[in-house]
Structure 1
Amino acid sequence: MSTMITTSSLPLSDRLLTLVLRLCGVLAALVLGGIVVVLLVQALPFLINEGAGIWQSTWQPGQGEYGMAPMIAGSLFVSVLALLLAAPVAVLLAAWLRYFAPRLRRPVLAGVELMAGIPSVVYGLWGMLVLVPWINQWVPPGASWLAGSLVLALMIVPLALLVTDAALGQLPLRYQRAGEALALSRVGMLRRVLLPRAAPGIVGGVVLQFGRALGETMAVLMVCGNVVQWPDSVFAPVRTLTANIALEMAYATGDHRVALFASGLLLIAVTGLLLMASWRLRGVSHG
């Protein structure tokens, strides 16, 4: 006869730990809720009165023009290109380390974890001192959409690689044995069996990395050029919403300040949608 373990039957230390964890969870929810409430209170009147104006192309706060469309596009363009560059590299490298070079896996993953912990401003500094001058030699001015995407891709690769490695590691051994029984090569097994089964978990993790790229501030501020315009090529300067907030919040007043709160609310909404998409994909992977 099985005995059900209840919270009251746990040792005192375990009950205290459970209480602390619950309080931390509640505190995190309250902080997030407070941020959303402040953004809503600040931005909602502006969105009601000037909501249609944010989809215009002219950002001139001094003249009462708050068009954010070029910056919304800049945020999406930089993040999407970064994801397209980083995701294949991360997936292929994780698969190669796990199935083709297992002896190198531990030291390489240790280095990748170190890369994941490097502050974003360090990546931005490297991009400003090395990447931007290098691009400038080919197509001036160097600070551009491409520079921002390359720096973000470098930031995304470590976490996307770790997510892919974890998704592949959670696959039951029977899939690999079934592939071996069918005489599939390791490449064929990876392409036809392992990656398709791990795809929901991998894609869910990559979606979260897209959210991180979309919300990055310092790195893109340092290398993207910060010009409010529709980019006509990957070598054109752009400004993202996050960079715009960081550059202008210090001196913004009145409607200008409220417009920056509205752009922050927009970023929160997009991040929330990406998070829900990630949960959905992870649910598919465990289903």
Structure 2
Amino acid sequence: MNRKAERVIEVSLFASATCAIVIVALILLFLIKEGAPILLKLGVRNFCLGMTWNPIAIAGEPSYGIFPMIVGSIYVAIGSLILAVPPGVACAIFLVEVAPGWAQSLIRRGIELLVGIPSVVLGFFGLVLLVPLIRENIGGCGFSILAGSIILAIMALPHIITISADAIKAVPATYREASIALGATKWQTIKGIILPGARSGIVAGVILGMGNSIGETMAVLMVTGNTPVLPEPLYNVLEPARTMTANIVIEMGYAAPGDHQQALFATGIVLLLMVAVLNLMSHHVLSRIGVER
């Protein structure tokens, strides 16, 4: 490949990266333009920590407090990771270290099929089967944080399994051979050599699953009940909740121009900042892992 062709490729890659940055910056500027007036009017503290969301109050002043929805988003996302990470990592270990070739092919095809299922289909599955199952066997009304966490865990599993499996496969074979040569069993090798060696990739898969869980809308919208109040008691995962993404989708269609619409855009700003903080945390964790290794 001559120098001219290399230069064209370099310019194309630079243009693509610049375009992505510009698009994100424009989205952020648009959200700030639309949502900043309500934040300046109410105050960031009152908006983010307010306990009441009632934008179309018949009597009295409308209320724009999104704290219950922030808590709902965090609860559902963390719950999905608690349910998805152990089986996801275990499945990745099984795929790479234990499963025969035919089982690997079968499981990978199943994972690819799971990725292709639209979120609205999974939400419908949760609405028809999961919600009644929770209501009849565990308690509550069925529409709950638990239902949303289970659906999001199913959606996060393919990302966690695929990235974790690739990270485990990337661990040099010499590590395995040296461990076995020193007398370690296969499980001791997996636990003491393979998993620490693949730790950065596994963490990356978990973070990607977390980002997917926070940003998911339709599936959560269909199974969580969409009640903009805190669970009572706070640890009760059988209570309904509303996430920030669901709040935007539900109300944007009928929100009148003014405070209500601006409050929805401000909710988007908070959501974007949460994702940005999550990304910064992920980079910090991965850099620390790299230093430790």
TM-score, with normalisation over the residues of structure 1? 0.91
Counterpart of 1:60 (choices 33, 54, 57) is: 54
**Secondary structure in 2 aligned to 1:184?**
coil
User: What does residue range 31-180 of structure 1 map to in structure 2 within 5 Å?
Assistant: 31-50=23-42, 51-54=44-47, 55-62=49-56, 63-103=61-101, 104-138=103-137, 139-180=139-180
Compare 82-91 and 116-125 and name the one that shifted more. 116-125
In 2, are the aligned partners of 1:57 and 1:68 still within 8 Å (CA)? yes
Counterpart of 1:245 (choices 242, 245, 248) is: 248
**Secondary structure in 2 aligned to 1:271?**
helix
**Secondary structure in 1 aligned to 2:117?**
coil
User: What stretches of structure 2 of length at least 5 have no aligned partner?
Assistant: none
Deviations 1:233-282 (A, max 9, x none): 11111111110000001111211111111111111111112223333444
Deviations 1:136-193 (A, max 9, x none): 2122421111110000000001110001001111212221122112211111111111
Deviations 1:3-33 (A, max 9, x none): xx8xx6154xx65555444333222222111
Q: How far apart in 1 are the matches of 2:15 and 2:162?
A: 29
Q: Identity of counterpart residues, as a percentage? A: 37
Q: How far apart in 2 are the matches of 1:147 and 1:227?
A: 14
Please tell me the residue identity of whatever aligns with 2:79.
L
**Secondary structure in 1 aligned to 2:198?**
helix
- The CA RMSD over aligned residues, in Å, is 1.9
Q: How far apart in 2 are the matches of 1:155 and 1:60?
A: 31
Please tell me the residue identity of whatever aligns with 2:64.
Y
User: Would the alpha carbon gap of residues 173 and 280 (structure 1) be closer, same or farther in structure 2, given more than 3 Å must change?
Assistant: farther
- Count of aligned residue pairs for this structure pair: 279
Q: How far apart in 2 are the matches of 1:284 and 1:141?
A: 43
User: What stretches of structure 1 of length at least 5 have no aligned partner?
Assistant: none
1:259 aligned to 2:263? Answer: yes
In 2, are the aligned partners of 1:59 and 1:67 still within 8 Å (CA)? yes
1:203 aligned to 2:203? Answer: yes
Q: How far apart in 2 are the matches of 1:53 and 1:283?
A: 35
In 1, are the aligned partners of 2:68 and 2:230 still within 8 Å (CA)? yes
In 1, are the aligned partners of 2:50 and 2:64 still within 8 Å (CA)? yes
Per the TM alignment, residue 213 of structure 1 is displaced from its structure 2 partner at its CA by: 0.2
Q: How far apart in 2 are the matches of 1:58 and 1:267?
A: 18
In 2, are the aligned partners of 1:53 and 1:65 still within 8 Å (CA)? no
Compare 67-76 and 136-145 and name the one that shifted more. 136-145
In 2, are the aligned partners of 1:77 and 1:145 still within 8 Å (CA)? yes
Q: How far apart in 2 are the matches of 1:97 and 1:165?
A: 7
Please tell me the residue identity of whatever aligns with 2:248.
I
User: Would the alpha carbon gap of residues 64 and 82 (structure 1) be closer, same or farther in structure 2, given more than 3 Å must change?
Assistant: same
Please tell me the residue identity of whatever aligns with 2:126.
G
